[in-house]
Structure 1
Amino acid sequence: MAETTAETTDVASQYSAQVASDLEQNLKEQERLSAEIEALQAQLAALQHNHSVLTNIQQALGTSAAAAVSAAESVTKVPAPRKKTATKAAASRRTKSQKPATATAKRAGKKTAKASQTQSAAQSAAPKLVELVRAHLSAQSEPRSAAEIAAALEQEQPERGIKTTVVRSTLEALVAKNQAQRTKQGSSVFYTSTDTAEPAADGDQSEQPSA
C-alpha cells in the first residue's frame, strides 16, 4: 500500500513539473510572437509614412504638370487673327508664354526630386536600431534589461519611437548571432555585449593560481 502511494506521488510530481515546463515554454512563445508583431507594426508604420510622403510628392508633380498644361491650353485658345501680321505676333507671344510655363514645370520637378533625394539620404544615413542597440551594449559595463536599453535609446532619439518589445526582439537576434549574451536573474532577463564579456573572462583566468 505504501509503495502504491509513493508511486502515485512520484507520477503526480512528474506531471506537475511537465506542466510547469509547458507553461514556461508557452509564455516564452507568446513573448516571441508579441515581439515579432511589434516589429512588423513598426515596419508597417514606416511604410505608411513613406507612402504618405510619396503621395504628397506625386500630387505636387501632378499640380505642376497640370499648371503647365493649363497655361499652354490658354495660349492655344487665343482667337485667330484676321491678318497674317497678327498671326505672326500671336505665334511669337505663344512661344514666349510657353517658355516660362515649361521652365516653371522643370523647376518644380527639380525641387520635388531634390526633396525626395534629401529624404532618402536622411533615411539611409540614420543608424539602424540593431546598430544602436549593439553600440549601447558595448558601452555598458553591467548587464542591462531590454526596458533599460529602450528607455536610454528613446532619450537619445525620441523621434524614432523606440519600443521595448522591438528592442527585446533585436537583442534576441544579437544573441542568436553571438554578438550579445543573455543572463537570467529570477524572472528578469539581462543582456551584455560579447565585447564587454570577453575581457571579464580573461580577467578571471588571470586571477587563477598557477599549478
Structure 2
Amino acid sequence: MSDATVSATALTSQYISQVASDLERNVKEQERIAEELNTLQAELTALQHDHGVLVNMQQALGVPTPPAAPSHANGAAVPTSSGKKATSTSGRRRTAKADAVKSPKGKKPAAAKSATRRPAARKVTGPTLVDLIRHHLIEQKEPRSAAEVSKELSDAHPDRTISSNVVRTSLENLVARSLVQRNKQGSSVFYTASARAEATTEPKGETQRNADK
C-alpha cells in the first residue's frame, strides 16, 4: 500500500470519528433542550390551570372583569394589577408623532412664540462713550486717571450710566489704537490724548451737528 493511500485512509478515519462525535453531541443537546421544553410546558400548563381557577374564584366573589391572560406577542400590552392594559413605549411615540402631524402647519406653540420674542434694544442717542472719553481727554490740560475720567463724565452727563470699569476698558482700547497715551506714575496710571487723536477729531460744533442729525 502506497503512502498516499495510507494518508487518505487515515484522514478519512479522522473525519468519520469527528462527525460521529459531533452527531452524538448534537443528539444529546437536542435531548436536553427537549427535556427543558417539556418541563417549561408542564409549568405553563399548571399556571394556566391555576389562572382559570383564580378567575372562577373572582367571578364567584363578584369581581366584574377578571384580568386577561398575558399575551406573549412582542410589543403587546401587558395587563396591570387593576385589569387595565399598559400602553407600550412605542405606542406613546406613535401617539406623540400623530399629534405633531395634526398640528397646524407653520404655527408655533405659544411657549415657542414667547421664547422667540426679544425686548427691543434701547436706542442710544448722542456720541458713544469712547467718543466722550476721547474728546474729554483732548480738552484736558493734564493727564487723567480712569477714575477721574469716569467721575468727570458722570458729572457732565448725569443722564447716562457710566461705569468706571467700562471707562478703563475704553481707555485701554484707545491706547491700543494710538489715540490715547498711557503714563504710569508710581502705582497710578494716567491717560492723555495723543496727537493723532487731536488730528482726527472734528470741531466740537461739527460733532454736535452730526449728533443732532
If the TM-score is normalised by the length of the shorter chain, which range does it land in? 0.3 to 0.5
**TM-score normalized with structure 1 length:** 0.35
In terms of fraction of residues, the more helix-rich structure is 1
| Larger relative contact order, structure 1 or 2 (CA cutoff 8 Å, min sep 6) | 1
**TM-score normalized with structure 2 length:** 0.35
Higher Cα Rg, which structure: 2
